[in-house]
Amino acid sequence: MSVRRTVAQQIPGLVPGIFFFAMALGAAAGSATLDLAVDLFAEGSWAAAHVEGLRVQAEVSGPGANRAQSLAAVSSLRLDAGRESAKDVLANLWRAGSADLETRCMAAYEYGLADWADGGTNAAAALEFAYLETRDTPLFWRAGCSLYFYLKADKPLRESRPATWRSLQSCRDAWPLAVWQECRPRKPRGPSVASLPGRWIVAFYRAQIGPAIGSRCDLQPSCSEYFLQASRAHGWLGVPIMADRFVREPSVVSAREKPVAMPDGRVRFADPVSDHDRWLKGKP
Amino acid sequence: MKQGSGFGVREAAGRAGGSFPRRGKKVSMAWKNQPVFSTVWKTIAAAALASGWAAAAEPARLALDLDAEGQREAAAIEFRRLALAGEQAEDAGRWFWLAAHEYSLGEKLELSNQMLDRAEDVAPFALAVPVAWMRAENAMRGQDWASASFHFDSLRLKADADDLREFAARGAAAANLRGENVAGARQALAGAPGDLAEARAAIDRYAGRRDKKPWVGGVLGLVPGLGYVYSGEYANAARSIILNSLFIWGMVETGGDGDWAVFSVLTFAEFTWYSGSIYGGIDSAHRHNQRRLDAAVDEIRGEKPLRPDLAQVPLFSLKFEF
């Protein structure tokens, strides 16, 4: 996992706030052409929303194109793909006087969050712009709450913006609890301690043994991945689950059920962990 | 299973004056064991295409091509685009239904159900039968047996063709059996049209035998391999016995020689095999029970493809070979 992604997980608004953004954009769109892109965004289909946003951007002009561009860029951020160019797009939208004010505010808010996640220096200015300029209440709450947490963690920055800080403190009581929870920075959750031995064994196998003997497993997922998944899900129980698979492997292969065509042309046989640990989780 | 063959949407469009490239005569088997399901959605696509949507023909072709390539989500998005662009409510409903179908095939059941909601919102009652059908299949895929049974019952009530009612009854029986409701499964078949003797016999056979007890498998697994034997997995049992015997022998030899480093490694490995024998004893009992249930459900649902309700989509009749 990249450092950037780890940091991004601590920043508010990247995962929650999806519906807020989609609703705000949908309300601002005022055009049927962006409906599908907004729906896809609200569903969390980032890649599809990104493509759809670009498609609408190419088809329309004026404010609609700006909104579509904003949605495509935010989808790209959610995907964690093309992050820098997406940030550039949002920064341009924020600073461009040609876009309508609400689109600029939304772009500034999203850019501020992304810049905060990346440890940039423009986050405060972007969030402050969104907080001070927007006429959209949910965006006003979120931009304010995010800016509050951002400034709270940085005393010099806070002291350089005394009026904004006083304003944030005076209106913080109006923010709903859900907004507080959404905007609060979260610490990333690491892997469970119980899964560590399994992860070490697999890491050793993949680094030292796998390259020497090549890909030998006929099952999908591969045995090392299976062990990893089982260890993640069940800690030390991953050991007997893996041993059971080693014993079963020839029978599963000879049964030739559930064939899976791999990208390299090989055929493997599906044997997911979920087929063998349902009873550990209880009935669905 | 036996494979049905018939007219897909391209053949139907060809008859209706469309110009789809032909790509084989087989009905898609992407929805495993339910050829009729594929048939119905293609029928609806054909109805949608052949009902004078000249402007929408190109996007529909793209969606169908994406479907043919197995790009379910992309196909669903194309169908949604058509739905949003549709001017007639019923047409939009059909496109939403097709999007729901694609999402369902792509295992995005929540989205599929959302599309069904939209289909019903824009065209209430017009798609009652296929919507009920899709909801039932989604519930089956999501292992929500109570909902699946409800929707199959709903389908049975809404259907006006005997073969569709039979299909619904079989589905409801299968859902009940998966939900461990044998009486409900029998009840679902009661009074249903068609020859259901085999399905009833499958329920009787299933109910007449007992499941393996996982705890017994686990206890027997304390003796390496015996847990597998309990569930009839003799090859696995043999491998478990051999592996455990080899490593125990290695432990005894290295311990006797005082080679404690190798002894430690072999002990760890033996712990792995031994714990695997216990886990395998439990899991093999579950596997055995699951296989038994799967076989019964397959028999109940049958291999007979059904004819879609042509009153809903009156374009062409489907012909299947058995």
A80 touches chain B (CB under 8 A): no
Would the CB atoms of B239 and A243 count as touching at under 8 Å?
no
Tell me, what's the pLDDT at B292? 93
Tell me, what's the pLDDT at B79? 86
Chain A contact set for B178 (CB, 8 A): none
B171 touches chain A (CB under 8 A): no
Tell me, what's the pLDDT at B250? 94
Would the CB atoms of B273 and A248 count as touching at under 8 Å?
no
Spell out the residues 6+ positions from residue B173 whose beta carbon is closer than 8 angstroms to its own: B184, B185, B186, B188, B189, B199, B203, B300
Query: pLDDT (tens digit, 9 = 90+) per residue, A11-25?
Result: 444 444 445 566 555
Which stretches in chain B have pLDDT values below 70? 1-59, 304-322
Average pLDDT, chain A: 81
B236 touches chain A (CB under 8 A): yes
- ipTM, interface predicted TM-score of the complex: 0.70
Average pLDDT over residues A61-86: 83
Question: How far, CA to CA in Å, does B160 sit from each of A76, B133, B138, B157?
Answer: 48, 13, 22, 8
Tell me, what's the pLDDT at A9? 43
Chain A contact set for B63 (CB, 8 A): none
Average pLDDT over residues A191-211: 79
Which one is predicted more confidently, A33 or B198? B198
Q: How far apart are CA B66 and CA B79, in angstroms?
A: 10
- Is pLDDT at A87 greater than 80 in this prediction? yes
Confidence of residue A251 (pLDDT cuts 50, 70, 90): confident
Buried b vs exposed e over A252-280: b needs ≥16 C-beta within 10 Å? beeeeeeeeeeeeeeebbebebeebbeee
Which one is predicted more confidently, A275 or B31? A275
Tell me, what's the pLDDT at B139? 95
Tell if the pTM clears 0.90, that is, is over it: no
Q: Which amino acid is at B14?
A: G
Tell me, what's the pLDDT at B49? 55
Average pLDDT over residues A91-96: 87
Average pLDDT over residues A26-31: 52
Tell me, what's the pLDDT at B90? 78
Q: Select from A65, A82, A83 the least CA-distant residue to A29.
A: A65
Chain B contact set for A247 (CB, 8 A): 228, 236, 239-240, 243, 273, 276-277, 280
